[in-house]
């Protein structure tokens, strides 16, 4: 095989690997079938309800004390954001996340931050500086990020879970309110199985 064909083949292989890594957010049974039926546009992976994997178990210590378990949010849309005080794009999106939370919380939407690879004082300082009002789990070893297949060096990342705690949307970059709010609203407006409550 000639060098140009080998390089082209390697480029195609790397593109496939990158796509699989981007959509590899399953915390469910580890199966890959759901990925094939999800769409990826501009780094945003969206899955139709019938192809959504279950989110992994999420529980732990809150940054400001106390404990949290995602299971308590069943029936709510949950926006999970992975962040660190040391992450410049995380600082850029902080206001947009808080504004989206305030704009959507009356629609049955909850936000949860997951702080990774950070010190507690620095993380609390970050939240105070940006007036973050939703809770964050303190996860210095990035255990929860890895459970969602989010490499710690690829944050910020935001995952939208539907009302059945399934992964509906994965965003592997910083978000803006203009981009995030319509996505969250769309998932919040979905009718549960069996129709409206």
Distances (CA, A) of 25 to 63, 140, 169, 180: 24, 20, 10, 18
The pLDDT of residue 11 is 36
Q: Reply yes or no on whether the pLDDT at 167 is more than 50.
A: yes
| Coil, strand or helix at 183 | helix
Query: 85-143: per-residue pLDDT in tens?
Result: 999 999 999 999 999 999 999 999 999 999 999 999 999 999 999 999 999 999 999 99
pTM over 0.85: no
Residues 6 or more apart in contact with residue 173 via CB below 8 angstroms? 43, 89, 156, 157
Q: CA-to-CA distance for 76 and 79, rounded, in angstroms? A: 10
Q: For residue 114, which of 149, 142, 76 has the smallest C-alpha distance? A: 142
Average pLDDT score over residue span 45-71:
94
β pairing state of 157-161 and 136-139: unpaired
Indicate the average pLDDT of the chain. 84
Q: Average pLDDT of 37-46?
A: 88
Instruction: Report the distance separating Cα 24 and Cα 105, nearest Å.
Output: 28
pLDDT given for residue 183 in this prediction:
97
Residue 10 has what pLDDT?
A: 34
Q: Tens digits of per-residue pLDDT, 59-90?
A: 999 999 999 999 999 999 999 999 999 999 99
Confidence of residue 37 (pLDDT cuts 50, 70, 90): confident
Count how many Cα atoms sit within 13 Å of the Cα of residue 145 in the half-sphere of its side chain.
25
pLDDT, residue 196, reads 52
Residues 6+ positions from 31 with CB-CB distance below 8 Å: 53
Residue 27 has pLDDT above 60, yes or no: no
């Amino acid at each position: 095989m000639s060098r140009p064909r080998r390089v082209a083949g390697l480029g195609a292989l790397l593109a496939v690997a990158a796509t699989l890594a981007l959509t590899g957010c399953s915390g469910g049974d580890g199966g890959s079938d759901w990925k094939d039926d999800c769409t990826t546009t501009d780094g945003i992976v969206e899955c139709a309800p019938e192809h959504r994997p279950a989110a992994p178990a999420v529980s732990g210590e809150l940054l400001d004390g106390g404990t949290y378990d995602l299971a308590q949010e069943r029936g709510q849309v949950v926006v999970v954001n992975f962040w660190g005080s040391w992450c410049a794009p995380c600082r850029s999106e902080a206001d947009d996340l808080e504004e989206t939370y305030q704009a959507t919380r009356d629609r049955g939407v909850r936000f949860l931050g997951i702080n990774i690879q950070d010190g507690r004082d620095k993380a609390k300082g970050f939240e105070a500086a940006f007036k973050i009002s939703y809770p964050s789990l303190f996860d210095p070893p990035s255990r929860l990020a890895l459970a969602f297949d989010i490499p710690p060096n690829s944050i910020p990342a935001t995952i939208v879970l539907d009302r059945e705690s399934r992964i509906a949307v994965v965003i592997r970059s910083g978000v803006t309110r203009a981009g995030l709010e319509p996505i969250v609203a769309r998932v919040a407006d979905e009718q549960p199985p069996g129709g409206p409550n």
